[in-house]
Every structure is written in structure tokens, then in C-alpha cells.
């Protein structure tokens, strides 16, 4: 897991610097979004580092029962992660709004915020009872919150991918022949990123349901990587604009 986090954070760091160095004409909103998400990603990685140190090196500071309880950094790591989820999903929804020129895209904000609120309620519940081995009665409430949040996130990601593909396909049909390959590439990228984040959300939910009662931290490992996937998908989308613009100009030149 640490190697995965190192790799994804390296991509995050490089992607953030590329946005600031290459796209100096971006709006202040985009530049602030990149800066805030980079800060959140860095904060998340610092908290994860403390989690690994606490459980694997310090051995819960000698507390034999420490492995059954979530420490402050493990719970705190969820705050930047959940903030990243809602920010990145909102970013893609606003891109759909710009692409479609219709306010109907804002409907996707509803499941996104339902997931965010459900996850926030779960964090509060976890903070009041910071146990990694969940009791039966408590598990029912937490399982519902996790299921609702994960389902909303997966649904939102999938609908973002489907909606973007729909409008890209419409533009592909209306465009000239040389630009159709470019639109096809955009559609494939949109499907792959949307499916990846949806699959990770479903895997996290499955791991939680299967392993939460045993005190296993497998679901937590999946959750930690999830936020980095969101961040890198947003940065890849932003940093790919110059290459796509060059391909479009080349396609126009070939057409005429």
C-alpha cells in the first residue's frame, strides 16, 4: 500500500506543478482548486504516514488493545479524503455543465452531496466509538452509512462518465472526420476513469462488509488509495488539454 501511495502522490505532485507552470492563463478558481487539492492530498499522506508508524512501528505505543481502536490520525485521514471526493466530483460536474450548456448537470450534485453527508456522519460516529472491531448493533448503523456513501460516490462517478460520454459522442457525430479519433480517445479516457473510481468505491464497500467485524484494515487500505485516484484523474484531465489542443489543430490542418 505504501508503494502505491508513494507512486500516486508523486503523480499528484508532478501534475500540480505542471498545471501551475504550463497553464498560467487558467482561471483563479482552477488554480485555487489545484492548490487546495494538492494540500489535501499532502495532508492525507502525512496522516497515513503516522497511521503506518503508529500501528506497524510503534506497535500502538505498547498498548496491547491498541490494534482494536482507531487512533486520531486514522480517523483524521478521512477528513481530507472526503473533501477531495466532493471537490473532484464537483469539478467534473461543472465541466459537464460547461460541455452541455445545460443546468441539468447540477442534478448530479445531489447524490454527490448525499454521499458526502453520509460519510461525514460516519466519521462522527467513528470518532465517538473509535473501534476497529464493530459490534453487531453498531455495525448496522455504520454499515448503512458506509453503504449509502459508497453507493452515492460510485453512482455519481458512473453518471459523470456516462453523461460526459453522451455529450462527447454528440459532438463527435457533428464534427468533421479528422476530429472523430480525438473524440473517441476522450470517450475512452472518460469511461476508464469513471469506471475505475466506481469500481474502487464498490471494492471498498465489499471489503468493509466482509472484513469490518473481524477488525481487518483491508477496507481502510482501499479507502486510502481512493482519494489519490480522484486527485490524479482531475490533474490528468487538466494537464491533457495542451496535447488534445495540438491534436485538434493537427486534425483541422489535415481536414483543410
> CA-CA distance, 192 to 177, in Å (whole number)?
24
The count of other CB atoms within 10 Å of the CB of residue 148 is 19
227 pLDDT above the threshold of 80? yes
Let me know if 137 is exposed, middle or buried by CB neighbors in 10 A (0-12, 13-18, 19+). Answer: exposed
Average pLDDT of the segment spanning 44-72:
82
> CA-CA distance, 115 to 158, in Å (whole number)?
14
176 pLDDT above the threshold of 50? yes
Let me know if 57 is exposed, middle or buried by CB neighbors in 10 A (0-12, 13-18, 19+). Answer: exposed
CA angle (167, 106, 114) in 5-degree steps = 125
Query: If pLDDT is split at 50, 70 and 90, which confidence band does 82 have?
Result: very high
pLDDT computed for residue 2 by the predictor? 45
The x, y and z cell numbers of residue 120, run together, are: 461525514
229 pLDDT above the threshold of 50? yes
- Domains of the chain with bracketed CATH: 2-245 (1.20.1070)
User: Would you say 20 and 31 are in contact if contact means Cβ atoms under 8 Å apart?
Assistant: yes
Task: Render pLDDT for 185-219 as a digit per residue (tens, 0 to 9).
Answer: 677 777 767 778 888 888 888 888 777 666 667 88
| Greatest extent of the chain over all pairs of C-alpha atoms, in Å | 73
> CA-CA distance, 224 to 70, in Å (whole number)?
14
Average pLDDT of the segment spanning 144-168:
89
pLDDT computed for residue 5 by the predictor? 56
The count of other CB atoms within 10 Å of the CB of residue 220 is 21
84 pLDDT above the threshold of 90? yes
Query: If pLDDT is split at 50, 70 and 90, which confidence band does 248 have?
Result: low
> CA-CA distance, 123 to 104, in Å (whole number)?
31
Mean residue pLDDT of the chain comes to 81
55-69, 106-120, 198-212: least confidently modelled range: 55-69
Whose grid coordinates read 481502510? 220
Q: 173 or 25: whose pLDDT is higher?
A: 25
Q: Which long-range contacts (CB under 8 A, 24 or more apart) does 205-209 make?
A: 205/146, 205/147, 205/150, 205/151, 205/154, 208/143, 208/146, 208/150, 209/143, 209/147
pLDDT computed for residue 244 by the predictor? 65
Query: If pLDDT is split at 50, 70 and 90, which confidence band does 125 have?
Result: confident
Amino acid at each position: 500500500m505504501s508503494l502505491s501511495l508513494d507512486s500516486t502522490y508523486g503523480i499528484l505532485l508532478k501534475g500540480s506543478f505542471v498545471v501551475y507552470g504550463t497553464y498560467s492563463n487558467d482561471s483563479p478558481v482552477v488554480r485555487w482548486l489545484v492548490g487546495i487539492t494538492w494540500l489535501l492530498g499532502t495532508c492525507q499522506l502525512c496522516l497515513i504516514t503516522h497511521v503506518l508508524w503508529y500501528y506497524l512501528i510503534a506497535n500502538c505505543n505498547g498498548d496491547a488493545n491498541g490494534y482494536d481502536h482507531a487512533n486520531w490520525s486514522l480517523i483524521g485521514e478521512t477528513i481530507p479524503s472526503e473533501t477531495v471526493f466532493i471537490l473532484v466530483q464537483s469539478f467534473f460536474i461543472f465541466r459537464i455543465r460547461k460541455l452541455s450548456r445545460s443546468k441539468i448537470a447540477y442534478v448530479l450534485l445531489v447524490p454527490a452531496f448525499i454521499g458526502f453527508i453520509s460519510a461525514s456522519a460516519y466519521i462522527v460516529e467513528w470518532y465517538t466509538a473509535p473501534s476497529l472491531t464493530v459490534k453487531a448493533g453498531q455495525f448496522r448503523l455504520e454499515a448503512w452509512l458506509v453503504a449509502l456513501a459508497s453507493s452515492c460516490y460510485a453512482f455519481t462517478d458512473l453518471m459523470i462518465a456516462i453523461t460526459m460520454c453522451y455529450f462527447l459522442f454528440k459532438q463527435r457525430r457533428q464534427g468533421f472526420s479528422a476530429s472523430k479519433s480525438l473524440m473517441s480517445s476522450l470517450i475512452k479516457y472518460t469511461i476508464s476513469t469513471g469506471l475505475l473510481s466506481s469500481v474502487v468505491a464498490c471494492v471498498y464497500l465489499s471489503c468493509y462488509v466482509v472484513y469490518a467485524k473481524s477488525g481487518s484494515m483491508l477496507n481502510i487500505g482501499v479507502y486510502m488509495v481512493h482519494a489519490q485516484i480522484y486527485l490524479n484523474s482531475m490533474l490528468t484531465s487538466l494537464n491533457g488539454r495542451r496535447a488534445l489542443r495540438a491534436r485538434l489543430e493537427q486534425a483541422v490542418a489535415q481536414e483543410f
